[in-house]
Amino acid sequence: MSEPDQSSGGGTLYVVATPIGHLGDISTRAIEVLRQVDRIAVEDTRHSGRLMQHFAISTPMLALHEHNERHLAPALVEQLQAGQSIALISDAGTPLISDPGFNLVRLARQSGVRVVPVPGPSALICALSAAGLATDRFVFEGFLPAKSVARRTRLEQLVREPRTLVFYESSHRIVESLADMAQVFGESRQAVLARELTKQFETIHQDELGALQHWVQADSYQQKGEMVVLVEGWTQPDDDSLNAEAERILNILMEELPVKTAAKLTARLTGLNKRELYERGVALRKTD
């Protein structure tokens, strides 16, 4: 295979997927492209250097990450327009999926440079394929906000999302994020933690959100590594269960907020009437 092709007069930007763990998951095509391009743009030259060494790839590398991508992208596009070929890879998986590369790819396309995907591993798709949750429709939310208030606000916007929800999460926030999900979505919502996918200690564990959060919190081992969290989509409950869920949410919010504010937020989350929820909240406060 002689993949890089400058017959059109310009170079090509290859967006190349690399393993998320198991090195055997890299494709033959990806290896050939990485060997034949003029240079490889990587997040971390030391990290990707181990991959290159393993597959005897000697192509020059340059660091392209979130802190320098906007600055370097114009110069790289000029090199592509001059006929050079460049491969873009991330530390693991498919570039641009919660990884750098968007600015370079967008500028390359705007400049008329040929952009070619070389598909392969992605933690998002890997987790979804083995989770046992609905895959016909799903939404990828990437990383949630680091701060709890902002994280809960974002989760509240997704409460009635019917598609399977997929999140990436860092090891040092996984317990707090699962706790927020359990509080906002309800402890009984089904969820899956996919951890260290394709690696030696891969874990794919399904349970209700409340139980999943307690399971992870009780085992520090499950708080390490690369994480994907999948949550089943919202389904329309019958009227009785909707009212019970609304009352549960209202009670939780009233622990921290005035009745009026709690009723307003509950109405936003459930779609029920704000005045009726306020009246129910007042009645509940009187029985305390």
pLDDT-based confidence at residue 9 (cuts at 50, 70, 90):
low
Q: Please state, for a pLDDT cut of 90, what percent of the chain lies above it.
A: 79
- Does 1 map to a domain? no
What is the C-alpha separation between 63 and 238, in angstroms, rounded? 54
Same domain, yes or no: 176 and 227: yes
Phi-psi region at 225: left, alpha or beta (left = phi > 0; alpha = psi -120 to 50): left
Instruction: Residue 69: give its domain's CATH number.
Output: 3.40.1010.10
Instruction: Tell me the pLDDT tens digit for each residue of 82-117.
Output: 999 999 999 999 999 999 999 999 999 999 999 999
Q: Say if residue 1's pLDDT is above 50.
A: no
Given this model, what pLDDT does residue 280 score?
A: 85
Instruction: Assess contact for 13 and 86: CB atoms under 8 A.
Output: yes
Range of the domain at 101: 12-121
Give the lowest-confidence range in 3-7, 58-62, 144-148, 279-283.
3-7
Quote the DSSP letter at residue 151: H
With CA atoms as reference, report the closest residue to 101 among 124, 69, 123: 69
Q: Say if residue 5's pLDDT is above 60.
A: no
What is the C-alpha separation between 91 and 17, in angstroms, rounded? 10
What is the C-alpha separation between 277 and 261, in angstroms, rounded? 10
Domain boundary among 102, 121, 140: 121
Edge-to-edge strand ranges of the sheet holding 61-63: 61-63, 39-42, 86-88, 12-16, 114-118
Same domain, yes or no: 145 and 67: no
Please tell me whether residue 287 adopts helix, strand or coil conformation: helix
Same domain, yes or no: 158 and 174: yes
- Does 5 map to a domain? no
Q: Please state, for a pLDDT cut of 70, what percent of the chain lies above it.
A: 94
With CA atoms as reference, report the closest residue to 173 among 127, 223, 209, 123: 223
Same domain, yes or no: 116 and 128: no
Same domain, yes or no: 205 and 250: no
Q: Tokens 């009212």 belong to which residue?
A: 243
Report how many domains make up the chain: 3
What is the C-alpha separation between 181 and 166, in angstroms, rounded? 12
Q: Tokens 């969820």 belong to which residue?
A: 191
Ranges assigned E (strand) in the chain: 12-16, 39-42, 61-63, 86-88, 114-118, 138-143, 164-169, 190-195, 203-208, 227-231
Instruction: Tell me the pLDDT tens digit for each residue of 165-199.
Output: 999 999 999 999 999 999 889 888 999 999 999 99
Q: Which ranges of 90-235 does DSSP label H, i.e. alpha helix? A: 102-110, 123-131, 148-156, 174-185, 209-218
- Does 101 map to a domain? yes
Domain boundary among 83, 103, 121: 121
- Cβ neighbours around 189 below 10 Å, total: 20
Same domain, yes or no: 38 and 78: yes
